[in-house]
Amino acid sequence: MFKKKNVLVFPAGTEIASEIFNALKLCKFVTLFGGTSVNDHSEYMYKNLIKDIPFIYENGFIEEFNRILSDNNIDCVYPAYDPVIEFFSENSDKINAQLIIADKTTTSVCRSKSQSYKLFKGEWFVPELYERGAVLSFPVFVKPDMGQGSQGAHIARDMEELDFRLEHSDNPIICEYLSGDEYTVDCFTDGKGKLRVAKQRTRERIRNGISVRSRSLDKDDKILEMATTINEKLNFKGAWFFQIKKDKNGIYKLLEISPRIPGTMGLSRNCGINYPLLTLFAFWGYDVDIIDNGYEISVDRALYGAYKINLDYTHIYLDFDDTLIIDNKVNTQLMSFIYQAINENKIIHLLSRHKGDIHNDLKKYRIGEELFDAITVLDEGDEKINYITEQNAIFIDDSFAERIKVATKRNIAVFDVDMVESLINYKA
């Protein structure tokens, strides 16, 4: 029997945190909390949001953080930003909750590319490293020893450009130039140290060093060999990943390793492999089985809008034609809002001049009449405004003429169909 646990994701506004949130927000084993030190997107995501947490470098952070953990009965902390992961790994014995991170040695090695390359020196997948004076041919690649993704990485095509990049990079290393395609390999190691998943995906579109377009790939024996070797030399528990790129001969070379959830790990999650949840189970000592549906899947991630409206209402009046049903199809976004409203105990009025039999047409579209507290069909020439009797209400209708009458004479908020997105509550 699973005991539901309070899990704090911190900081809650990162790309890493977003994937953890999406993976756990509907999980029956978890009560999800977000923690943030700044005003960020987590305000629009978490019902349980702890704001104004000090930054990790501030004096007294650990004492204040432990107070927050105690006040909110937090069982586990899921760090979701590389510097925070590193800080917690170095101070794990001082935090009064279970930390969902790899041990200090593994975290330290993964944080530094030079340490990673040193650990795996002699393996076929380690790229060539150069000292400045030993670079005999160009191009080469200059990147920060500590960093994420491709941030701060640059090609140097001659000595002048190399000197410039070295001068303007933070603790740089010089690597062989890898001209081939780049990939990410998402991995999961269970609580007994056994590698259970190594799933390769493309990195087709990059934004701020993060892959936002990705596609799953078939299994590759060389990838599994790399993953197995890395897993044997480091002490992983739960999800981790590594990034690779092909050299001019088509050989995979290691770019970096990270002992955490990447933002685009949702690609594998939507094949059936929920890495954040599997990671929790590994830390909780549970044995796991894994289902991978194995179909080809791709993802492209982009910004979406989440809104907060300072609007209090109890009643919702909405139209049928060209509002709930558009082009003979159900408006799924509006249906989502209707179910959200039901969860919030709103009173829903269907108000329409529908010319057919609305009861048959609701049945045709498999929309249950019980979704609505009242269904009113108006006669031709009748005014909808006459049936809007509640002041604590909103009105949703595709007709501008109807909306302006209601807004003017009833003084309530009115919404066109494209505005319904602002009413959706994404918090979990």
Give the number of domains in the chain: 4
Q: Which token pair is 58?
A: 């501030």
In a domain, 56, yes or no: yes
Looking at 136, 156, 176, which one is the last position of a domain?
Answer: 176
Q: What is the CATH number of the domain that holds 76?
A: 3.40.50.20
Residues 286 and 369 in one domain: no
Query: Residues 115, 118, 120, 125: is their CA dihedral positive or negative?
Result: positive
Residues 352 and 254 in one domain: no
Residues 15 and 90 in one domain: yes
In a domain, 136, yes or no: yes
Query: In the 8-state DSSP scheme, what is residue 219?
Result: -
Q: What percent of the chain has pLDDT over 70?
A: 98
pLDDT exceeds 90 at position 161 = no
86/99 Cα distance (integer angstroms) = 12
Q: Could you tell me which residues are beta bridge partners of residue 176?
A: 140
In a domain, 30, yes or no: yes
Residues 91 and 167 in one domain: no
In a domain, 214, yes or no: yes
In a domain, 120, yes or no: no
Residue positions counted in the chain: 428
pLDDT tens for residues 29-74? 999 999 999 999 999 999 999 999 999 999 999 999 999 999 999 9
* Contacting residues for 237 by C-beta, under 8 A, at least 6 apart: 102, 189, 190, 191, 193, 279, 282, 283
326/24 Cα distance (integer angstroms) = 33
Residues 161 and 215 in one domain: no
In a domain, 298, yes or no: no
Residues 183 and 236 in one domain: yes
Q: Could you tell me which residues are beta bridge partners of residue 155?
A: 141
Residues 321 and 417 in one domain: yes
What is the radius of gyration, based on Cα positions, of the chain? 27
50/206 Cα distance (integer angstroms) = 31
Residues 186 and 250 in one domain: yes
pLDDT tens for residues 373-414? 999 999 888 999 999 999 999 999 999 999 999 999 999 999
Residues 243 and 341 in one domain: no
In a domain, 354, yes or no: yes
Residues 223 and 194 in one domain: yes
Among 228, 259, 219, smallest CA distance to 242 is for 259
**Which of helix, strand or coil describes residue 321?**
strand
Among 195, 142, 200, smallest CA distance to 173 is for 142
Q: What is the CATH number of the domain that holds 134?
A: 3.30.1490
In a domain, 310, yes or no: no
- Mean pLDDT over 301-308 rounds to 86
**pLDDT value at residue 135:** 77
**Which of helix, strand or coil describes residue 361?**
helix
**pLDDT value at residue 176:** 85
The larger pLDDT score, comparing residue 380 to residue 75, is at: 75
Q: Which token pair is 2?
A: 């699973």
177/239 Cα distance (integer angstroms) = 29
Per-position DSSP letters for 196-216, written without gaps between them = EEEEEEE--EEETTEEEEEEB
Residues 138 and 202 in one domain: no
| Mean per-residue pLDDT over the chain, rounded | 92
Full-prediction pTM beyond 0.75? yes
- Parent domain of 16: 5-101
**pLDDT value at residue 152:** 64
Residues 169 and 185 in one domain: no
pLDDT exceeds 70 at position 149 = no
pLDDT tens for residues 120-143? 999 999 998 878 777 777 887 788
428/410 Cα distance (integer angstroms) = 33
Q: What is the CATH number of the domain that holds 244?
A: 3.30.470.20
